[in-house]
Amino acid sequence: MPRILTAALLMLASATAFAESPLDDFMRLQVGNFTSEQQAKADSRYDTAIWHIVEIWADDKSEERWLYTESWIKDTPQPYIQRISRVVA
């Protein structure tokens, strides 16, 4: 069997063996750094908002997860909102 096919089959098998839960999928979409810069450039009624979202107290075996969120307006010295969210499937 060609190496590329073998590697592909191994990757597929490992992905299937460790299938993610809907909660894992949701968390993957939520965590990151986001901005409304494109919207602010296109419409002067809007400022650039920035969100930094990280998972805290991570425990993949738990049925609940926790997120810390900071919301900023561009070029301000501090966030205007800080939040901790409990996420449950």
Over residues 4-16, the pLDDT tens digits come to 655 555 555 555 4
Instruction: Report the alpha-carbon distance of residue 22 to residue 24 in Å, rounded.
Output: 5
Helix residue ranges per DSSP H, the chain: 3-17, 22-30, 37-42
Rounded mean pLDDT, 25-29? 93
Instruction: Report the alpha-carbon distance of residue 69 to residue 54 in Å, rounded.
Output: 7
The first and second tokens of residue 89, run together, are 């499937």
Instruction: Report the alpha-carbon distance of residue 9 to residue 3 in Å, rounded.
Output: 10
Is residue 79 within 8 A of residue 72, CB to CB? The reply is: yes
- pLDDT higher than threshold 60 for residue 41: yes
Is residue 67 within 8 A of residue 54, CB to CB? The reply is: yes
State the chain's mean pLDDT as an integer.
84
Highest mean pLDDT among 3-12, 56-65, 67-76: 67-76
Instruction: Report the alpha-carbon distance of residue 86 to residue 89 in Å, rounded.
Output: 10
